[in-house]
Amino acid sequence: MIADCAVYEEGQRRAGDLPLEEACEASQKDGAFVWLGVIAPSAEEFDAIAREFDLHELAVEDAIKAHQRPKVELYGETLLVVLKSARYVDSEEVIETGEILLFVNPAFIISVRHGEASALAAVRKRVEERGDLLRSGPAAVLYAILDRVVDDYEAAAQGVEDDIQEVEQQVFSPERINPAERIYKLEREVLDFHRAVAPLAQAVDQLARGHFQLIPAALHEYLRDVHDHLLRVSSRITGFRDLLTSALHATLTQVSVRQNEDMRKITAWVAILAVPTMMAGIYGMNFKYMPELGWKFGYPAALGVILVVCALLYRRFKRAGWL
Amino acid sequence: MIADCAVYEEGQRRAGDLPLEEACEASQKDGAFVWLGVIAPSAEEFDAIAREFDLHELAVEDAIKAHQRPKVELYGETLLVVLKSARYVDSEEVIETGEILLFVNPAFIISVRHGEASALAAVRKRVEERGDLLRSGPAAVLYAILDRVVDDYEAAAQGVEDDIQEVEQQVFSPERINPAERIYKLEREVLDFHRAVAPLAQAVDQLARGHFQLIPAALHEYLRDVHDHLLRVSSRITGFRDLLTSALHATLTQVSVRQNEDMRKITAWVAILAVPTMMAGIYGMNFKYMPELGWKFGYPAALGVILVVCALLYRRFKRAGWL
Amino acid sequence: MIADCAVYEEGQRRAGDLPLEEACEASQKDGAFVWLGVIAPSAEEFDAIAREFDLHELAVEDAIKAHQRPKVELYGETLLVVLKSARYVDSEEVIETGEILLFVNPAFIISVRHGEASALAAVRKRVEERGDLLRSGPAAVLYAILDRVVDDYEAAAQGVEDDIQEVEQQVFSPERINPAERIYKLEREVLDFHRAVAPLAQAVDQLARGHFQLIPAALHEYLRDVHDHLLRVSSRITGFRDLLTSALHATLTQVSVRQNEDMRKITAWVAILAVPTMMAGIYGMNFKYMPELGWKFGYPAALGVILVVCALLYRRFKRAGWL
Amino acid sequence: MIADCAVYEEGQRRAGDLPLEEACEASQKDGAFVWLGVIAPSAEEFDAIAREFDLHELAVEDAIKAHQRPKVELYGETLLVVLKSARYVDSEEVIETGEILLFVNPAFIISVRHGEASALAAVRKRVEERGDLLRSGPAAVLYAILDRVVDDYEAAAQGVEDDIQEVEQQVFSPERINPAERIYKLEREVLDFHRAVAPLAQAVDQLARGHFQLIPAALHEYLRDVHDHLLRVSSRITGFRDLLTSALHATLTQVSVRQNEDMRKITAWVAILAVPTMMAGIYGMNFKYMPELGWKFGYPAALGVILVVCALLYRRFKRAGWL
Amino acid sequence: MIADCAVYEEGQRRAGDLPLEEACEASQKDGAFVWLGVIAPSAEEFDAIAREFDLHELAVEDAIKAHQRPKVELYGETLLVVLKSARYVDSEEVIETGEILLFVNPAFIISVRHGEASALAAVRKRVEERGDLLRSGPAAVLYAILDRVVDDYEAAAQGVEDDIQEVEQQVFSPERINPAERIYKLEREVLDFHRAVAPLAQAVDQLARGHFQLIPAALHEYLRDVHDHLLRVSSRITGFRDLLTSALHATLTQVSVRQNEDMRKITAWVAILAVPTMMAGIYGMNFKYMPELGWKFGYPAALGVILVVCALLYRRFKRAGWL
């Protein structure tokens, strides 16, 4: 589906939507370029676009299948940038990833979006307000999209961090919650997230260092800024993995400690209960000559002794912290 | 066994199968090349081929023994590419690996296949439909085979991923399944898989960067695409290892948690059973003066008290989540 | 908030505080430079400064938001150095991090501090005493601040080390303390600390190797010294992580050992208590012909036997180390 | 001890053994070289050789002490290659390592062997059959020895792999074997093995890349083949370590699972035994009015009830998988 | 404290000790150099030396504080080499580290030692016996000291290895020793040791590769030898860490296995004791009609049955390996 298709000239959007062919033609003009936004295109839809803009066979395949690794690649004059977009769905503790492919050329930028995350309409609006950047051509749009996607990474990372803090509290809470499954699932999400973010850093570094003529020098500092944010997110995510591994180990320790506490509590009670059973057994013996049995207050005395011994035991266990 | 031997000219297969000597001769013609497909050759079979095509002694050894590490190596003018093929046998949760050796030269490509995975007949059919690629010479066949093998990696990786998801469910299922052995065996498979895939990425990178004259520039982008897929598979496999390690740790935690639960349940019942034993013991004492023993309803009263105490204990344990 | 603003000429502070505009003007003079110290500026405050000193848009954003990764970056002629300051709050076992941004230029150095750690007033005092260094221009101030921040890292690392030693004692103490939570939290602090320190080492290395014209050669050795200290802190922190991981594993082992000891102690007592219960049970049987029951000293003999058996068991368990 | 000393000319061994001095002299002739094989020489023995062949002081020290790290080093014109030989002693599950030092020079090769593994007599015999290789001079002998040593590595690796598979079966076998010690010891062997193999790969790579004039180009492909085998062994060994670590974790999990099973089995029996004790206790109470006690079939009825309850419990536990 | 101060000329020590000033003067002569040995100098002591020999301010700070990271650094013409010395104190299982700083210059070498390890008097004696090396100037002394320090590393590593072998025996000994604390402490020592050794390897590599003019080519081979030893020690230490980590895991497994064994032993005895209690309970019931109670040999028969059942149970548990 084509979301939006506009021609930008001298940092301004030319009024009105254009059909594909006219846009392509308009983009040939000096100082003008087209931004074509496409969402989850079908093979036929994208074939038409590819033919119009003369895109490379392999790049087109990538655009439709959408399971690429983040990368920057030059096909002839056209740069293909593949990004993973990410957003944190707190209710399911899941990072939902999408994919954005950008075909960038002096004359056009085609953005192909798969998945919900990082809607580009907002980016377009923001970019159109900054004529100074737009004058740098399609690369400025590339920067704006990268900036947005990386900002969304940070939001997703924050979501994960909040959940990790919740999990930490569960691990060490006196309540008997078993956070193992939650920790494991967060670990899996973090792994996927890492796979989305880490390769992009390298790609953006190439863009920022001026490996591609397409990127005007004025944008290098902006892209370096994006690169920096990526490194920060990336190191946070690496930290998450270490934390979650430790949290899983700590959970195991906590479970063992609790088991030990339970065992001692249980045993203390068993010991307290064993005393009356034993004493009652002794006075249940059938010897003929057991003087206590004939005493008037033998029975209450026996009960009393039992109670006292149990109370002493109870106090002792209490003091030792077993109860 | 020679599976197929054909001469390609101007991107077209010349009709008919050829005996070895004629094929070799035909390949000397400009713009023509031979693709000789061999399956698990015996030493004698391959010796004949090696003599005909003048292959290096060491390369020949590799072709027969088939326990090579994936690599690209130049012997004189002939490129030797060693690949591991892989397929996932779901019924046994095993990745079956085979080996493919390719001798590539301007005049011929000899493919030697060991093991079931990645049959090359299908690749030949597909390649013969693409005259445009075939015109690039034997390197195009090399690309087509690499492409197929890496696609099969992705299928195998998907198979492993599915099984990992099954195992995850077992780890956290309330049923008492012990997935430790399954996790361990998947880990071993994943390790082997990694050893098959990781060195190839480096080799394909060399091919894509134009280190070898044999590979025409037109194919570089295609090989970069293969390299990219390899990196993706490779990072998925690395992720599998991390997941399986975590799953093993989580299993241990789950076992401990369950043991704790069992212990508490058991103890609760022991405690409930200990009360009647203790009370019966007391009324089994032989004191002369135990007024309760003479009461008319002493016995049912004692039973009643026992029942009430047991019921209270039961309720208490139930509430505490021990039962 | 502007903390201090002074002009330095020929290694001397020119008397009196200056308003912003005059300072900026004064800095244009040869051999003079301004050091402007700002603490947690608001957007408006810093906008004024940025306009006066012509700072880059992106750098300004960084200065106000203050969640940057440590780095060194050149915007035009102005070097932006981002640092994390750190101090150890022993009462909470927490490393409190702040952020310091430095804009360095031949004519000025602007220091922006967020957070409590590494107050710069003391640095200014110390720098003003060393006219020889000050003559090297703003880079000398940069060095002095870096030196101070890194010294504070060492202090923080020492604080962590002290706590790790306390935790070690808890892990192996005979008392039943569970240090798992404390270990985990130290691990998290150490991870954050590492993220603050590690990227700075690379940045300072660039400064020390003379990548930037702004840094006079005379300062290279001083910066190499700072770099060296950073590497030392960094390797200590890495060591902390390994130690804490081991400590967590050791804790688990200790818990298991203790559980084993408890279990054996408990069982020994259960066994000792089981003997009288069993013997009492036997003499509680109602057989008509049980000769012992008729003996005069049957009862005390039975008690005696019980005591002796229990004592023997006790001794045996004591010797086996179960009690 | 001097094992063998021979002069090779034009790829042929000159008949007869030679004393040291004559051999040295003979090696000066063009196209001729000496191969001197020494086994565990004493200091005096080797001093004589060193003086005759003019070996470097440091190299001589290495040759006698024999605890070197695998390496290739050039002392003047003479190349010193240090290798670890390895063989797997299955009966003790131990990798026995020896050491081979090679002094290679255009005129001679001196092989010094410590330890049993990789006897060189067989290598000499095989080399002498290949006149074509021998014509390349001492480097051909170097290749032949390397080839043999690395082949022995593969055999040793296979031995380890077989034992790992045995251990795996023990870990997951229903029998109660504790393979922890065996796993640990294999881990130690694998670590030592890795230390023997890993540095050699780098050294052989240098030889294969033509860093040393001594190695004729014709041998580069052969050495690359050795390097390849080394990489394969090396990656297998790395895999062993990962497997053994996982096996140790899996062992712990298996022990925990078994403990859980034992505990449940035990408890089930305790519960079944507790029922008759409790019921007997109740009918052992001395209440005057207990109607059941007067019944004619009270006793068999009580026994029956006890049996039935026990049987029901037994069935229930059986079904729940506790027995 | 100045330990020794001597002038060396033409590889010979000039007779007699010299005061500082004369030594400095004497060193100016061609072919002569001073070796000044200082032990743990106070600030004043070292200030005098620094002034005499014109040492860099930063280097002086390092010399007094003595908490440097191993490194090689050039201050003007003077090379500063920082080393950690190490010795193993077996009685406390601790690696005691000291620090040695060397200021090397064509005219002098100043050695500053902190801590007990690696006394340099012995090195001086050995060096003075080798006039051939001494002729190479101060660099020869540098080599001799490095050689000694690294030899001491090997001794310390051997000490650690011996203790690790002791610990291994404890882990798998049938006695109930808990080596967790010992393992942990060894791990900490090994970490510290690694931090002392690892950075030095890189520094010595620089020296051996001829990065510094000060080191004559004749010494490069000697320094390469030192570097090699360092790599060997370094890889042994890395191996120690892996071994100790595995040992800690193995300890946990052993504890679990033992707990399992204890539990089964305990339960077996509980089961054996439960049988007489249950049977006695049954014959303690007060039913009027219990024919066995009236039998003449009822009591001994009951005792006999109890004994037989207990014996059968005992045999069964014995066979199952529970006792």
* Whether D69 and E239 lie within 8 Å, measured CB to CB: no
Angstrom distance (rounded) from CA B282 to CA E267: 27
Lowest-pLDDT range of A166-175, E3-12, E17-26: E17-26
pLDDT of the residue at B243: 93
Torsion sign, CA atoms B174, B176, B180, B185: negative
Q: Is A155 touching C (CB cutoff 8 A)?
A: no
pLDDT at C300: 87
Q: Pairing state of beta strands A78-89 and A94-105?
A: antiparallel
Per-residue pLDDT tens digits for C175-191: 878 899 999 999 999 99
* Predicted pLDDT at C259: 85
Reported as a pLDDT band with limits 50, 70 and 90, residue A66 is: low
Ranges in chain D, pLDDT < 70? 66
Share of chain C above pLDDT 70, in %: 100
Structure tokens at A119: 């809607």
Tokens at D264, concatenated? 């449940």
Evaluate if residue A189 carries a pLDDT over 70. yes
Distance CA E113, CA E119 (A): 8
Interface mutation vs chain A, best among B167, B190, B285, most A CBs within 10 Å: B285
Interchain proximity B282–A296, CB inside 8 Å = no
pLDDT band at residue B66 using 50, 70 and 90 as cut-offs: low
d(CA A8, CA A108): 10
Contacts of B263 in chain A (CB under 8 A): 259, 262-263, 266
d(CA C108, CA C38): 13
B-chain residue closest to A181, CA distance: B172
Confidence at A20, pLDDT banded by 50, 70, 90: confident
Residue of B159 and B118 predicted with greater confidence? B159
- Token digits of residue A153: 């990474």
Could you tell me whether strands A108-114 and A32-39 are parallel, antiparallel, or unpaired per DSSP bridges?
parallel
Among the partner-chain residues C184, C262, C298, the one whose CB lies closest to the CB of A260 is C262
Residues of E in contact with D290 (CB under 8 A): 286
Terminal C-alpha separation, chain E: 68
Which of C:38-77 have CB within 8 Å of A? 56, 58, 67-69, 71, 73, 75
Asked if B286's CB is within 8 angstroms of A284's CB, the reply is yes
**C74 sits in which H/E element:** strand C71-75
Q: Is D256 on the interface with E (CB under 8 A)?
A: yes
Mutate to test the interface with C, among E257, E266, E288 (most CBs of C within 10 A): E266
Measured distance CA(B119)–CA(A16) in Å, rounded: 54
pLDDT of residue A314: 92
pLDDT of residue D66: 65
C-alpha angle B295/B298/B300, rounded to 5°?
145
**Which chains does chain A touch, 3 or more C-beta pairs < 8 A?**
B, C
- Angle made by CA atoms D190, D194, D198, in degrees to the nearest 5: 165
Q: Where are the alpha helices (DSSP H) in chain C?
A: 20-26, 43-53, 57-65, 121-128, 131-134, 138-172, 180-208, 220-283, 291-294, 298-319
D49 vs E196: CA distance, rounded Å: 39
Note the pLDDT of residue E170: 92
- C-alpha–C-alpha distance, residues C85 and C91, integer Å: 19
> Searching chain A, which residue's CA lies closest to the CA of residue B277?
A277
* pLDDT tens digits for range A219-249: 998 999 899 999 999 999 999 999 999 999 9
- Which residues in chain C have Cβ-Cβ distances shorter than 8 Å to E262? 260, 263-264, 267
Candidate from D37-51, E5-19, E214-228 with smallest mean pLDDT: E5-19
Per the CB < 8 A criterion, the answer to whether C33 and C8 are in contact is yes
- Residue B109: pLDDT over 80: yes
Contact D169, D202 (CB under 8 A): no
Percent of chain A with pLDDT strictly greater than 90: 39
Q: What is the pLDDT of residue B27?
A: 77
pLDDT at E53 over 90: no
- Mean pLDDT across A282-294: 84
pLDDT tens digit sequence for C193-205 = 999 999 999 899 9
Give the contacts of E66 (CB within 8 A, at least 6 positions apart): E40, E99, E101, E114
The answer to whether B281 contacts A285, with C-beta atoms less than 8 Å apart, is: no
**Averaged pLDDT of chain B:** 88
B256-273 pLDDT, tens per residue?
888 888 888 877 887 888
DSSP secondary structure string for all residues of A86-143: EEEEGGGTEEEEEEEEEEEETTEEEEEEESSSS-SHHHHHHHHT-HHHHTT-HHHHHH
Q: How far is CA B140 from CA A92, B15, B223, E301, in A?
A: 47, 20, 10, 94
Contact at CB, D251 and E253, closer than 8 angstroms: yes
Whether E76 shows a pLDDT value over 90: the answer reads no
pLDDT digit string, tens, across residues E85-106: 999 888 888 899 899 999 998 8
- DSSP string for A21-47: HHHHHHTTSTTEEEEEEEES--HHHHH
Q: Which of A73, A180, A195 lies closest to B250 in CB terms?
A: A180
- Which residues are within 8 A (CB) of E156 and not within 5 positions of it... i.e. 6 or more apart? E86, E87, E88, E95, E193
Eight-class DSSP state of D39 = E
Calculate mean pLDDT across residues A140-150: 93
Model confidence over B303-313: pLDDT tens digits?
Answer: 899 899 999 99
Q: Which member of E258, E284, E293 has the closest CB to residue C260?
A: E258
Q: Which residues in A lie closer than 8 A to residue B144 (C-beta atoms)?
A: none
Q: Which residues of B touch D222 (CB under 8 A)?
A: 58
Cβ(A297)–Cβ(A303) below 8 Å: no
Question: How confident is the model at residue B271, as a pLDDT?
Answer: 80
A248 with B249: Cβ contact below 8 A: yes
D131 shares contact with chain E (CB less than 8 Å):
no
**285-314 in A: which are within 8 Å (CB) of B?**
285-286, 290, 292-299, 302-303, 306
Residue E72, strand partner residues:
E81
φ/ψ region of B21 (left if φ > 0, alpha if ψ in -120 to 50, else beta) reads alpha
3-state secondary structure C151-184: HHHHHHHHHHHHHHHHHHHHHHCCCCCCCHHHHH
A192-211 residue pLDDT tens: 999 999 999 989 999 999 88
* pLDDT for the residue E111: 92
Query: Inter-chain contact C250–E245, Cβ cutoff 8 Å?
Result: no
Q: A79-103: b or e for each residue (b if 16 or more CB lie within 10 Å)?
A: bbbbbbbbbbeeeebbbebbbbbbb
Provide the whole-model pTM: 0.88
Is there a contact between C5 and C20 (Cβ–Cβ < 8 Å)?
yes
Residues of A in contact with C249 (CB under 8 A): 249
Those residues whose C-beta lies under 8 Å from the C-beta of residue D280, and which sit 6 or more positions away, are D302, D306, E278, E281, E282, E284, E285
- Choose among B203, B207, B209: nearest CA to B234: B203
Q: Does C132 touch chain A (CB under 8 A)?
A: no
Q: Considering chain B, what percentage of its residues have pLDDT values greater than 70?
A: 100
Are A243 and C286 a contacting pair at CB < 8 A?
A: no
E309 pLDDT more than 70: yes
Residues of chain C with pLDDT below 50 are none
> Tell me, what amino acid is at A59?
A
Mean pLDDT of chain C: 88
Q: Please tell me if residue C282 touches chain E, with a CB cutoff of 8 Å.
A: yes
